């Protein structure tokens, strides 16, 4: 049944007549107000969230139905009066029954034929599912800490590179000093290994070690995940510890820190300064003793210029600043790491493989490695899986697709301990040849060839990043939203 009343505007009447049934079918809250800010559409999902009867709200002015909102705080009213657009906007408001709603929505003005604003529409998102998952993660983290399962052992980082060894020396000095640490390195360089080493070599090693990828949690849930909640803070909220409380006495690793909303970074700064925070919905402060270890895969100074990282937070964290060099800057590690990964994975995949051929090793040295150490490990695993049976040496490397398969001749280089210390100075790294463009049926126009090449590059980037859109976008040098759009367009 359509839950709308006839507005004064005939144009808005036409909109509702055409779209009313469609809007009713959406399983998410949708509301529409007319030019005067009166509710003319209010579906059952909106009614369920607000805990009211839709019929009672229809015909009421928005600011009367939601008295906690004002013309300045209501996004719908600002759409009407200022023509503003709000995309994935977070808003808290109080329902007619007095419940506080934590809400994510998009609000847009509706225009008539002559360009005048005739109303505004809001489409929301129910965050209860996300909150439920977040609460489960927090509960599980708490239980793991109680059981002692969070304790990590081993912090070995395999390297023969002087630059890496110097950074590890700096890292160990930071670990013992108990200062905040900020780790910068490209995707796949091993930032989390560095962070674990800080914790394991500190006086907090026997305490909690908790990790959080800031990009993996919706912005609207990140605050409650970090600081916890109190009962009644929003609909369905219960008193629950956040990660700061769970990590008290130990270390909290915040990966992809630059994905944290800028306003939340201010609250993080306060915890760094005096160890105090307030759970969501609570006026009472809590004191914690938590060491912050943060990581980013883009240069901090670029994030500061782009407005995604607070400068004062950066200077508070960079007491212990560590840069993890990309693999292309430490090619002496490639042979050592390849040998390590073969030993690690051959037992489960191809026990008969004993080492790697010299030419295959040379091909590894020449590869640009946009995905760094993680990509190298993936290539070794894939090559082991596809290696012919009865072959004792890894001779054929499988990169991203068949256009990059490297065929090599047999010239064994063992993966024994002596192989790690072998002199590979004769292998001179050189820039790899540009990949040939994909074959396209002839004749083919330039747009067709470019489209085929674009598809290939996107597939390669997604394979390198193990399906992580953010990492793939970084490899391609385009915004994440642009890559998402291209993936949908290409059906990938």
How many CB atoms lie under 10 A from the CB of residue 173?
12
3-state percent breakdown (helix, strand, coil) of the chain, nearest 5: 45, 20, 40
How many CB atoms lie under 10 A from the CB of residue 403?
13
According to the model, what pLDDT value does residue 256 have? Answer: 93
According to the model, what pLDDT value does residue 69 have? Answer: 84
- Measured CA to CA, the distance from residue 370 to residue 378 in angstroms comes to 12
CB 50 within 8 Å of CB 101: yes
According to the model, what pLDDT value does residue 253 have? Answer: 95
> Cβ contacts of residue 189 below 8 Å, gap of 6+?
324, 325, 326, 327, 372, 373
Query: Phi then psi for 461, rounded to 5 degrees?
Result: -65, -40
- Rounded to the nearest angstrom, the gap between the alpha carbon of residue 245 and the centroid of all alpha carbons in its chain is 23
Strand-pair category, 117-125 with 30-34? antiparallel
Q: For 202, which DSSP code?
A: S
319 closest CA partner among 128, 174, 209, 454:
174
Q: Look up residue 76 and give its two tokens.
A: 């719908």
> Cβ contacts of residue 406 below 8 Å, gap of 6+?
360, 363, 396, 397, 399
2: alpha, beta or left? (left if phi > 0; alpha if psi -120 to 50): beta
Q: What pairs with residue 196 in β-bridges?
A: none
According to the model, what pLDDT value does residue 303 have? Answer: 93
Annotation: CATH topology of 446-490: Arc Repressor Mutant, subunit A (1.10.10)
- Give the CA distances from residue 36 to residues 78, 80, 119, 170, 445, in Å, rounded to whole numbers and listed in that order: 12, 8, 8, 63, 54
- Give the CA distances from residue 212 to residues 244, 260, 474, 489, in Å, rounded to whole numbers and listed in that order: 11, 11, 20, 32
According to the model, what pLDDT value does residue 344 have? Answer: 87
According to the model, what pLDDT value does residue 76 have? Answer: 92
- Measured CA to CA, the distance from residue 234 to residue 450 in angstroms comes to 50
The dotted CATH code for 329-420 is: 1.10.8.60
According to the model, what pLDDT value does residue 139 have? Answer: 59
- Measured CA to CA, the distance from residue 283 to residue 418 in angstroms comes to 62
According to the model, what pLDDT value does residue 441 have? Answer: 39
According to the model, what pLDDT value does residue 470 have? Answer: 78
According to the model, what pLDDT value does residue 11 have? Answer: 82
**Burial 366-389, CB ≥16 within 10 A → b, else e:** bbebbbbbbbbbbbbbbbbeebee
93: alpha, beta or left? (left if phi > 0; alpha if psi -120 to 50): beta
- pLDDT tens for 255-314 read 999 999 998 999 999 999 999 998 887 778 899 999 999 999 999 999 999 999 999 999
Helix locations, 53-100, DSSP H = 54-57, 62-65, 75-82
> Cβ contacts of residue 425 below 8 Å, gap of 6+?
none
pTM of the model: 0.60
Fold agreement between 10-126 and 446-490: no
Task: Considering the domain delimited by 129-325, tell me its CATH architecture.
Answer: 3-Layer(aba) Sandwich (3.40)
Q: Look up residue 47 and give its two tokens.
A: 């009614």
Domain 10-126: state its class. Answer: alpha beta
According to the model, what pLDDT value does residue 268 have? Answer: 94
CB 474 within 8 Å of CB 488: no
Q: How do the domains of the chain map onto residue ranges?
A: 10-126, 129-325, 329-420, 446-490
Residue numbers in the chain where pLDDT is lower than 70: 1-8, 100, 102, 126-155, 232-238, 400-453, 466
According to the model, what pLDDT value does residue 189 have? Answer: 93
- pLDDT tens for 32-48 read 999 899 998 988 888 88
- pLDDT tens for 77-132 read 999 999 999 887 777 777 777 776 767 788 999 988 888 899 999 998 766 555 55
According to the model, what pLDDT value does residue 124 have? Answer: 85
According to the model, what pLDDT value does residue 404 have? Answer: 42
In the block, tokens 């969070």 appear at: 150
Q: How many residues does the chain have?
A: 492
């Amino acid at each position: 049944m359509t839950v709308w009343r006839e507005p004064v505007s005939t144009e808005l009447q036409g909109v509702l007549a055409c779209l009313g049934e469609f809007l009713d079918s959406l399983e998410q809250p949708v509301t529409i107000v007319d030019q005067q800010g009166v509710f003319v559409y209010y579906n059952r999902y909106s009614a369920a969230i607000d805990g009211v009867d839709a019929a009672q709200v229809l015909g009421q002015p928005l600011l009367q139905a939601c008295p906690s909102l004002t013309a300045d705080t209501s996004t719908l009213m600002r759409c009407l009066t200022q023509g503003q657009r709000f995309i994935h906007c977070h808003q808290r408001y109080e329902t007619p029954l007095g419940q506080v709603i934590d809400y994510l929505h998009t609000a847009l003005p509706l225009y008539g034929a002559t360009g005048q604003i005739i109303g505004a529409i809001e489409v929301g998102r129910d965050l209860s599912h996300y909150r439920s998952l977040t609460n489960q993660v927090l509960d599980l983290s708490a239980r793991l800490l109680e059981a002692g399962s969070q304790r990590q052992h081993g912090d070995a980082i395999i390297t023969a590179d002087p630059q890496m060894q110097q950074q590890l020396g700096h890292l160990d000095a930071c670990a013992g000093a108990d200062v905040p640490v900020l780790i910068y390195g490209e995707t796949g360089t091993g930032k989390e290994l560095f962070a674990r080493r800080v914790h394991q070599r500190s006086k907090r090693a026997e305490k909690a070690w908790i990790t959080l990828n800031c990009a993996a949690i919706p912005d609207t849930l990140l605050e409650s995940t970090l600081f916890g909640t109190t009962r009644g803070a929003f609909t369905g909220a219960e008193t629950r510890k956040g990660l700061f409380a769970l990590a008290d006495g130990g270390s909290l690793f915040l990966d992809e820190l630059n994905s944290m909303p800028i306003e939340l970074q201010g609250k993080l700064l306060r915890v760094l300064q005096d160890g105090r925070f307030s759970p969501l919905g609570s006026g009472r402060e809590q004191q914690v003793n938590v060491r912050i270890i943060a990581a980013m895969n883009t240069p901090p100074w670029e994030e500061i210029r782009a407005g995604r990282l607070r400068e004062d937070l950066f200077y508070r964290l960079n007491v212990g600043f560590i840069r993890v060099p990309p693999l292309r800057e430490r090619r002496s590690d490639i042979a050592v790491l390849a040998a390590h990964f073969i030993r690690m994975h051959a037992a489960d995949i191809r026990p008969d493989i004993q080492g790697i051929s010299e030419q295959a090793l040379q091909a590894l040295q020449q590869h640009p490695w946009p995905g760094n150490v993680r990509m190298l490990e993936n290539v070794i695993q894939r090559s082991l899986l596809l290696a012919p049976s009865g072959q004792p040496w890894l001779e054929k490397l499988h990169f991203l697709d068949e256009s990059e398969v490297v065929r090599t001749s047999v010239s064994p280089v063992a993966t024994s301990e002596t192989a790690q210390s072998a002199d590979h100075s004769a292998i001179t790294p050189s820039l790899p040849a540009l990949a040939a463009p994909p074959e396209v049926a002839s004749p083919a126009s330039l747009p067709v060839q470019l489209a085929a090449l674009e598809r290939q590059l996107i597939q390669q980037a997604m394979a390198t990043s193990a399906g992580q859109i953010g990492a793939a976008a970084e490899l391609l040098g385009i915004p994440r939203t642009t890559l998402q759009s291209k993936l949908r367009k290409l059906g990938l």
